[in-house]
A = this chain, B = another copy of it.
């Protein structure tokens, strides 16, 4: 059975996350339903990142096996036809070697978190950013974030329900940039790692936001990390500001 990799984007709002769950809408169930229209024997779709309820994606990667070979362009068009009107789109597709695994072959994941400081509610970005009514100090957040980069025990920054065997992870980058316009400033947090713990990005962003707001001194982030205690974490940022933007593999399955 030929194996295919897909790159997907989706709006997280209507879905209880990536993972199929009985009786609840999920991205996986919708994609598998679309695949089944093309190939009744298509097995499960497997994703690089099992995004939570409400989390968006612009670069999720998924693999599945199909009974027959497809032209990628026709496969993209057919799947997008069957995915409508749901806010899920297949933006790329390629045949891959049979041992390619969207989750286990991945060597890097990239997340974006969007925080918008704005006096008035955003009309066009409602549901796409975490809106704050107070300004944030970019330099303070950048300084505090550096304590998190590297190989650490991230117990403080993972959900109590996290099922990972170990809280040890290597965070390769936390890049924070500010994008002002005449109504306010968008702060973009880009986090890069081989893999993340459950709620790790949202826990980190929610904590750094406290620093940006002036409620926490920057040094408290290093102390929270060293505490290895979930109770030392700041508030967890909401899911609707979070985007899985990319997944990297030893060989790019899409040839880019």
What residues make up the interface of A, taking CB atoms closer than 8 Å to B?
9-11, 56, 58, 76, 80, 84, 87-91, 119-124, 126, 128, 182-183, 256
Closest 3 CB pairs of A and B: A87-B123, A89-B120, A9-B123
Contacts of A256 in B (CB 8 A): 182
Contacts of A76 in B (CB 8 A): 119-120
Residue of B80, B88, B121 touching A84 (CB-CB under 8 A) = B121
CB of A191, distance to nearest CB on chain B (Å):
20
* Separation of A91 and B183 alpha carbons in the complex (Å): 8
Interchain CB contact under 8 A, A124 and B183: no
Q: Please name the residue on chain B nearest to A79 by beta carbon.
A: B120
Residue of B80, B123, B182, B183 touching A121 (CB-CB under 8 A) = B80
* Separation of A122 and B182 alpha carbons in the complex (Å): 26
Contacts of A120 in B (CB 8 A): 76, 80, 89-91
CB of A14, distance to nearest CB on chain B (Å):
11
Interchain CB contact under 8 A, B89 and A122: yes
14 contacts between A and B (CB under 8 A): A9-B123, A11-B123, A11-B124, A58-B124, A76-B119, A80-B121, A87-B123, A88-B123, A89-B121, A90-B120, A91-B120, A91-B183, A124-B128, A182-B256
Residue of B10, B119, B122, B124 touching A123 (CB-CB under 8 A) = B10
CB of A27, distance to nearest CB on chain B (Å):
11
* Separation of A126 and B87 alpha carbons in the complex (Å): 9
Q: Please name the residue on chain B nearest to A87 by beta carbon.
A: B123
Q: Please name the residue on chain B nearest to A88 by beta carbon.
A: B123
Of A58, A119, A124, chain B has the most CB atoms within 10 Å of the CB of: A124
Contacts of A58 in B (CB 8 A): 124
